[in-house]
Chains A and B, each alone.
Chain A
Amino acid sequence: MQKAIPSTEYANEIRSEPIEHRFNPYSNNGGTILGIAGEDFAVLAGDTRQTTGYSINSRYEPKVFDVGDNLLLSANGFAGDSTQLIKVFDNRLKWYHFNHDKKLAISSAARLIQHMLYGKRFFPYYVHTILAGLDEDGKGAIYSFDPVGSYEREQCRAGGSAASLIMPFLDNQVNFKNQMDPESNGTKKKEIRYLSLDEVIQLVRDAFSSATERHIEVGDGLEMLIVTKEGVRTEYFPLKRD
C-alpha cells in the first residue's frame, strides 16, 4: 500500500493513518536539588520525595550521593537515568583508581561527566546533574550540567522541578544580585562575599521549605550532604508532606 508521493503541496503531508503511539522511555520523577559552594566547603541538597504524575512513589528515596573522593553527585529528572548515571560514574571512578591510584580531582570528574552525558547525546540521560566538592585549592566547587553534557562551574545552582523557583532566590541571596550597599544610599552594588556554612544551611532550608509550599513535586524531607576537607557528612530535615 504505497502512498501517493506528496507533490509540492504541504497539504499532501497529511497522513491518512493514525499517528503511531510510541512507547515513551522517559518519565519525570519530580524532586529538586540544590548545590552551594562556600570558601572551604560545598553543600549538595535534595528533597527525598519521588513522584510520577500526581502520585507520590516514596517519601524517602535519596538522590544525592557521596560517590567517594570527597565528591557529591546528584542527577535529578528521570530516576531511571539518574541511578544509571551514578552507577556508571561509580564504575568509571573505580577504574580511574585502578589505573592512576590517586584521587579524582573535581575538575576531572566534571569533564568525565560531560563525556558520559554527551556519549548519550542522541538518547540522552534525562537529568539535570550537579557535582559538588572541593577544588585543587580546597575551595568549594559546584559544577552543573544540562542533560547532554554542557557544563559550567558555578557558585550555586538549583536543578530539577523547582529550579525556576529557587534559582532567583539564590541569585539574590548568594550572589547578591539586585542588592545595594545600604551605606551607599543605593549607588553601589553590595560587595559579594563567601557565605558561612551556617548561613548556607539556613539558605538551603529556606529554599526547600519555600519550594515545598509552591511545588507539588517537592517535599517530605530534605537531605543535605556537606563536604569539607574533613570529609562528607549528612543532615536530614523534615519538610511538609502534603
Chain B
Amino acid sequence: MNHDPFHWGRPSQGTYGDYNYNIAHASNVDKSNKSNSEFPKMHTQQPMITGTSVIAIKYNDGIVMAADNMGSYGSLLKLDDLQRIIPVGSNSVVGISGDISDFQYLERLLDDLEVEDSYDMENENLKANHLSEYLTRVMYNRRSKMNPLWNAIIVAGFDDNDELVLKHVDLLGVAYSSPTLATGFGNHLAIPLLRQKVETEDDAAKLTKEEAIKTIKDCMKVLFYRDARSWDKYSLCVIEKSTKSIKIEKDVKVEGMKWDFAQHITGYGIPQQ
C-alpha cells in the first residue's frame, strides 16, 4: 500500500505499477462501445424507457388494479400500446412500473415460472403469495449485486387458501401489503384518494366493486391530469373472490375530463390575450 499522505490507501506503485486513474474517475456515461474502453463494467444506474404508476385497491369481494399503456423515454412518448398488467397463471396478476426492459425481463422470468409450474403439478401450485415472495427475492438479490431491476411491482391475486393477496415490491427488495397500493407518482397523487375510500381493511370490506372501479377510474383521471408521464389509455384489472375470476379489460379510456380551464392558464410559453 502507498503511504504517501496524498496517495494513501492506493496500491504501491512498486508492486502494481502506475495507479489507473480511469477507475477512480469512471464516469457514469457508458463509453464501453468506444475504442479506449478501460472502464469497469457498469450496471443500471438509471431507468431508460419507463412506465408510470400502477394503482390498486381492495373492495368487499376482490381487488381492482390499473396501469396505463405508455412507455416514456424521458419526456418523449415512446410507446403507446404497452400492457403493464400481466396475468401469471390463473391465480395472480402483476402490475409493473419503472424500466420497461427490466419489465420485459421480469415478464420472461414469470413466463418461465409458469411453464415450470405446469410441468409437474396436477393442480396449479403457483399462487399469488408464492409469486410475491419470489419477486421479492429476485429484486432483493439483484439489489444486493448492486445491479437492480429498476421496477416497482404490485402483485394481486389469490393465495393457497383462496384469500386475497395484494403486495408491493420495489427495486430494493422491500415488500409490503396494504388495502390500497400505488407505485411511482401514484404514491403521491392516487394514494390519498384511495385511502379516502379505504383507510382500513374494514373499509375495504364495505366497498362495492362498482365503487372500487369508479375510484380507480377517478384516480387514473387525476393521474392523467397531473402526471406528465401518464396516458389516457389504460388497462383495468378486476379480481373477484366469489367467482374466483381475474379479468383484465384493455384499452380503457380516461373519461369525463374537463379541459376548458386550460384556456385561462397564462404565464407559460407564448403570452395569450
Q: Do chains A and B touch in the complex (CB under 8 A)?
A: yes
Could you tell me which A residues sit within 8 Å of B by CB distance? 1-3, 5-6, 8, 10, 13, 15, 17-18, 20-23, 25-27, 29, 50, 52, 55, 57-61, 78-80, 83-84, 123, 241
Once A20-B26, A21-B45, A23-B44 are accepted as A-B contacts, the answer to whether A5 and B176 lie under 8 Å apart by CB is no
Chain B positions 171 through 200: 1 when the CB is less than 8 Å from some CB of chain A, otherwise 0:
011111110000000011001000000011
Cα separation A123 to B141 with both chains bound (whole Å) = 13
Using an 8 Å CB-CB cutoff, how does the interface string of B192-229 with A read, 1 for contact, 0 for none?
A: 00000001100000000000000000000000000000
> Residues of B contacting A79 with CB < 8 Å?
174-176
Q: Contact between A3 and B148 (Cβ–Cβ < 8 Å)? A: no
Shortest Cβ gap from A119 to chain B (Å): 13
- The 25 listed contacts between A and B (C-beta, < 8 Å) are A1-B22, A2-B21, A5-B18, A6-B6, A8-B6, A10-B6, A17-B25, A20-B26, A20-B28, A21-B28, A21-B46, A23-B45, A23-B143, A25-B143, A50-B176, A52-B174, A55-B187, A59-B178, A61-B176, A61-B178, A79-B175, A80-B140, A80-B143, A80-B172, A84-B173
A2–B144 touching, CB < 8 Å: no
**A61 in complex: contacting residue of B26, B144, B177, CB < 8 Å:** B177
Are B25's CB and A3's CB within 8 A?
A: yes
Is B233 on the interface with A (CB-CB < 8 A)? no
Return the 10 tightest CB-CB contacts between A and B, nearest first. Answer: A80-B173, A58-B178, A58-B176, A3-B21, A57-B176, A79-B174, A61-B176, A20-B28, A80-B174, A80-B172
Which residues 101-135 of B have a CB within 8 angstroms of A? none
CB-based contact A29/B174 at 8 Å: yes
Residue B146 interfacial (CB < 8 Å): yes
Interface centre among B45, B148, B176 (most CB of A within 10 A): B176
Give A241's nearest chain B residue, CB to CB.
B199
Q: How far is the CB of B160 from chain A (nearest CB, A)?
A: 19
Q: Is the interface of B mostly helix, strand, loop or mixed?
A: loop
Cα(A6)–Cα(B18), bound, Å: 13
Assess whether A22 is in contact with B25, with CB atoms less than 8 Å apart.
Answer: no
Can you add 13 more A-B contacts, CB < 8 Å, to A55-B188, A57-B176?
A5-B19, A10-B6, A17-B25, A17-B27, A20-B26, A20-B27, A21-B28, A23-B44, A25-B146, A57-B168, A57-B178, A83-B173, A241-B199
Given A20-B28, A57-B178, A25:B172 Cβ within 8 A: yes
Q: Whole-angstrom distance from the CB of A194 to the nearest CB of chain B?
A: 37
Which residues of chain B are near A8, meaning CB under 8 Å?
Answer: 6
Cα(A5)–Cα(B6), bound, Å: 11
Please give, as numbers and ranges, the residues of chain A lying within 8 Å of B143 by CB-CB distance: 23, 25, 80
- Complex CA–CA separation, A242 to B47 (angstroms): 34
CA distance A17 to B28 in the complex (A): 10
Contact A27 B28 (CB under 8 A): no
